[in-house]
Structure 1
Amino acid sequence: MARRPDHELTAQVRPDGYLELSSRRTGKRHRCGPRGTTMWLALQRSGWQPELAADEISLQLGVDPDSIRCDIHAWLAHFREAGE
């Protein structure tokens, strides 16, 4: 199921390749490395569909899409638990 991020969440890819997510609602900031940045961008391009994002990343990197799917779902769960 596609779920867009909270409209209060802002995202910025910094020049160093790290993604910075900021919540205006909570004031929390999260900084993600290149892996998180790649997942965020793939999710955006896929209409927030984790399965499609995993397929895109697996094609780019030549890795098993199932392992990427697990990573994406775990990454998303982390943010859901944090209230983001």
Structure 2
Amino acid sequence: MARRPDHELTAHVRPDGYLDLSSRRTGKRHRCGPRGTTMWLALQRSDWQPELAADEIALRLGVDPDSIRCDIQAWLVHFREAGE
């Protein structure tokens, strides 16, 4: 099931490939490296469907989608636990 980010979450991709996420609701800020940025952008393009995002990334990188799915799920759990 797709779960969109909190509407008060702002995201900014920096020129160096890092993603800055900040929540006006919680005041928390996170910086993600290029790998997290890639996952964020793929999730956006796939309407926040982790399976579709993993398929997109795996196709681009020529890797097994299952390994990418695990990475995306772990990344999402991290942010859900952080309240983002």
Residue-by-residue CA offset, 1:39-63 (whole Å, 9 max, x unaligned): 0000000000000000000000001
CA distance in 2, matches of 1:45, 1:54: 11
Residue-by-residue CA offset, 1:44-83 (whole Å, 9 max, x unaligned): 0000000000000000000110000000000000000000
C-alpha RMSD of matched pairs (Å) = 0.3
SS class of match (1:56): helix
Note the C-alpha offset of 1:23.
Answer: 0.3
The TM-score with structure 2 as length reference comes to 0.99
Residue-by-residue CA offset, 1:9-66 (whole Å, 9 max, x unaligned): 0000001110000000111100000000000000000000000000000000001100
Note the C-alpha offset of 1:2.
Answer: 0.4
The residue that corresponds to 1:78 in the other structure is: 78
The TM-score with structure 1 as length reference comes to 0.99
Gaps of 5+ in 2: none
Q: Quote the sequence identity (%).
A: 92
Paired residues in the alignment total 84
SS class of match (1:76): helix
Gaps of 5+ in 1: none
Instruction: List, as ranges, runs of 4+ consecutive aligned residues in structure 1 with deviation greater than 4 Å.
Output: none
